[in-house]
Amino acid sequence: MDKRIARGVEEFIDVNLTPAPPVNSPYRQAGILNFVFGHVWQRPGLTRRERRIITVASVALDDSPVPLRTHVAAALHSGDITKEEMDEIVLQFAAYYGFAKGDALADSVEAAWAGRPA
105 and 61 housed in the same domain: yes
The pLDDT assigned to 1 comes to 86
* 22-32 pLDDT tens trace: 999 999 999 99
Terminal Cα-to-Cα distance of the chain (whole angstroms): 38
Does residue 70 sit in the same domain as residue 103?
A: yes
Q: Quote the longest CA-to-CA distance of the chain.
A: 43
37 with 59, same domain? no
Burial class (CB in 10 A: 0-12, 13-18, 19+), 71: buried
* Count of C-beta atoms within a 10 Å radius of residue 61: 15
pLDDT tens per residue across span 23-81: 999 999 999 999 999 999 999 999 999 999 999 999 999 978 999 999 999 999 999 99
Answer whether 59's CB lies under 8 Å from 108's CB: no
Same domain? For 33 and 73 the reply is no
Supply the range of the domain harboring residue 15.
Answer: 2-42
pTM above 0.85, yes or no: yes
The answer, yes or no, to whether residue 101 has pLDDT greater than 90, is yes
